[in-house]
Chain A
Amino acid sequence: KQEVTQIPAALSVPEGENLVLNCSFTDSAIYNLQWFRQDPGKGLTSLLLIQSSQREQTSGRLNASLDKSSGRSTLYIAASQPGDSATYLCAVRNTDKLIFGTGTRLQVFP
């Protein structure tokens, strides 16, 4: 059974810092991995999708890497801003459904 773990559970940093959020999964036979952002009381916004054949994806200040063999992904956020404050979720797909981690709650203070 696929299990997804995210570390840390919560993170509070001053504006401008570079951050790394971690995601690990137990079954490496995945189709893809997706990172989402969730603001309080809102749905999920897709940030990056990495297919199993890819090593990384970049979008603006975000960079996600995937090491399938070791069951790990990292989300790197450069030059963090208060607007980045949210919960970040990773999810892996090795069947038709996405299995989610419990998220990292990020707070960036001015």
Chain B
Amino acid sequence: GAGVSQSPSNKVTEKGKDVELRCDPISGHTALYWYRQRLGQGLEFLIYFQGNSAPDKSGLPSDRFSAERTGESVSTLTIQRTQQEDSAVYLCASSREAGGTGELFFGEGSRLTVL
């Protein structure tokens, strides 16, 4: 597609429910990133996928968070047993190149509100 696409754009859920957030990267981009942005704060790195390599999960805040990506296509970020502290905008980005030289392009984000 023309840009990084994320869905849903907004999600309101009750504490304890599971949520899935989807990211469709730019076609041909091998690298995919998830970031979290809490209200009024900076971007926190969550996870990074590069082709078929093992993902870098070093930013996931707890074992309630997981993400998958099939090949170089869509990625899903799953949050189990959501907590109010998970409320944030979850941003996905993709990049053509791996290894640090590529420009990152971001989607519009998925705003998650946990009641």
- Known contacts: A42-B108, A96-B50, A102-B41. The answer to whether A34 contacts B56 by CB under 8 A is no
Tell me the minimal C-beta distance from A22 to chain B in angstroms.
16
A98: interface (CB < 8 Å): yes
Cβ-defined contact, B91 with A97, below 8 A:
no
Q: Specify the main secondary structure of chain B where it touches its partner.
A: strand
Provide the residues of chain B in CB contact with A31, threshold 8 Å. Answer: 99-101
Partner of B42, one of A32, A46, A103: A103
Cβ-defined contact, A96 with B107, below 8 A:
no
Partner of A101, one of B42, B59, B104: B42
CB within 8 Å of B: which A25-71 residues: 31-32, 34, 36, 41-46, 49, 51
Partner of A94, one of B4, B35, B100: B100
A95: interface (CB < 8 Å): yes
Q: Specify the main secondary structure of chain A where it touches its partner.
A: strand
Task: Select from chain A the residue with minimum beta-carbon distance to B107.
Answer: A43
Cβ-defined contact, A43 with B91, below 8 A:
yes
Cβ-defined contact, A44 with B48, below 8 A:
no
CB within 8 Å of A: which B4-24 residues: 4, 6
B103: interface (CB < 8 Å): yes
CB within 8 Å of A: which B39-63 residues: 41-43, 45, 48, 50, 56, 59
- Cα–Cα distance between A32 and B100 once the two chains are bound (Å): 7
Cβ-defined contact, B100 with A95, below 8 A:
yes
Cβ-defined contact, A97 with B101, below 8 A:
no
B88: interface (CB < 8 Å): no
Cβ-defined contact, A44 with B100, below 8 A:
no
- A–B Cβ pairs within 8 angstroms, 16 of them: A31-B100, A34-B103, A34-B104, A36-B106, A42-B108, A42-B109, A43-B91, A43-B107, A43-B108, A43-B109, A45-B106, A91-B104, A96-B98, A97-B33, A100-B43, A103-B42
Known: A93-B100, A100-B43. 11 other contacts (CB 8 A): A32-B100, A32-B101, A43-B107, A44-B93, A46-B105, A95-B100, A96-B31, A96-B48, A96-B50, A97-B33, A97-B45
